[in-house]
Copies of this chain bind each other. A is one copy, B any other.
Amino acid sequence: MEKTVTGTNVQVGDKMFSLIEELYPICRSITGEGVRKTLNILKKQFPLEVYEVPSGTEVFDWTVPKEWNINDAWIKDTKGNKIIDFQDSNLHVLNYSIPVDRKVTLDELKEHLHTLPEQPDLIPYRTSYYNERWGFCMKHATLESLDEGEYHAFIDSSLEEGSLTYGELYIEGETEEEILISCHVCHPSLCNDNLSGISVATQLAKDLLAGENRYSYRLLFIPGTIGSITWLSQNEEKLRNIKHGLVLSCVGDEGHVHWKKTRKENSEVDRAVARVLEESNDAFELLDFSPYGYDERQFSSPGIRLEVGCFMRSPWGTFPEYHTSADNLDFVHPESLEDSFNKISSVLQLLEDNRTYKNLNPKCEPQLGRRGLYSKTGGQSQQAVDHMAVLWVLNLSDGSNSLLDISERSNIPFNAIRVAADALKEVNLLKEM
């Protein structure tokens, strides 16, 4: 599994897992101190720019909401015992809950409780960003054990003018054309969704900063939905440079990789991902685009139309741990994180390498022998794959086929095609378009 693009022989998967461990306890939401703490931890690893957008700012059809913060929360029974405690799990509070400090009957309390009757030992994750109310989430088993009587509901939260916080890293490459990598940072103590995405994006950032890139890269660490809408509304002039995009989510579980295609469904990034996954010989699945899911929804809206897909292992909603307290540190694995990282790195490398050439000797084949590109004894029926790659590159390099086109048509691994193209370029038989 040790095959990072920088070649440093360290446990990349373990490093990504450690970052998840560090971020796990923080109570994040779409605004507030949780996001700031998270981004500050990332800043220790790479030069992330952190932006604050004031509450009330109009962002397309939306408005940046009030900032939400929370110190503590619990429910006590008549004896003063804490039934549930925010300090045990930040999932216990309905995310964006308004403050409360009230004694209520069990029946009244129940109107503010969220449980999972089918998964009685898990705490659900619930939010109420745009409807001001208070609430708690708990194990259904706990709810069932409650006696009639008075309960004390306490939430020490605040919902006030403040700002929405997001992080952005721009890495300048040889060209202005950009690849966008985006992950959300708004979920509290949930590991796969989406600390795994934050952690893999962090590793990619460090890796890309260490290398030389043809593309420029833009990495976004943003709250889901409102974050992408905010960023898009404030950065419209940057969109024309974004050629390809990947949203990362749920990249740490043990499932195989799923790629949700872009709205266009045959974008270059779709084809690059498909090629990398096919060549990996691992199981994988390509999913059709749909206008639901993560921030690819916003990036793919008809007035934005970026070619952005979503890279996942198990897709959201398909695993029982999704949006529950079971999406914890046991659910993500260094091996899975590293495999996700490696595959995404390969996709980026393929995009970097996917050039289009023109054969400078287009009339008949050039004599490869005198250029050292051909074994000099003819007549054998078996030819090395590399030689076939050379012939395919020469034949299809009429200016209309990229190396990915050639790899797809010949069904020769992309890297063999790239190596052949490099060799041909070296002997001046190819010119980049």
Contacts and interface: CB of A to CB of B under 8 A. Distances in A.
Interface of A: 60-62, 95, 124-131, 225, 228-229, 232-233, 263, 290-292, 297-298, 300-304, 316-317, 322-323, 359, 361-367, 369-370, 376-383, 388, 391-392, 394-398, 410
B395 A364 contact: no
Nearest to A324: B381
A413 to B, nearest CB: 16
B379 A127 contact: yes
Given A377-B126, A379-B126, A364 B131 contact: no
Contact of A363 (B128, B303, B382, B398): B303
A421 to B, nearest CB: 14
Q: How many copies does the complex hold?
A: 3
Contacts of A300: 395
A395 B128 contact: no
B228 A302 contact: no
A61 B367 contact: yes
- The binding surface of chain A is classed by DSSP as loop
Given A395-B263, A398-B302, A364 B228 contact: yes
A338 B126 CA distance: 49
Nearest to A228: B364
Contact of A397 (B302, B316, B397): B302
Given A379-B125, A381-B322, A301 B394 contact: yes
20 contacts: A61-B361, A126-B379, A130-B369, A130-B370, A228-B364, A229-B364, A229-B365, A232-B364, A263-B395, A290-B392, A292-B383, A292-B391, A298-B365, A300-B395, A302-B362, A303-B364, A304-B362, A316-B381, A323-B380, A323-B381
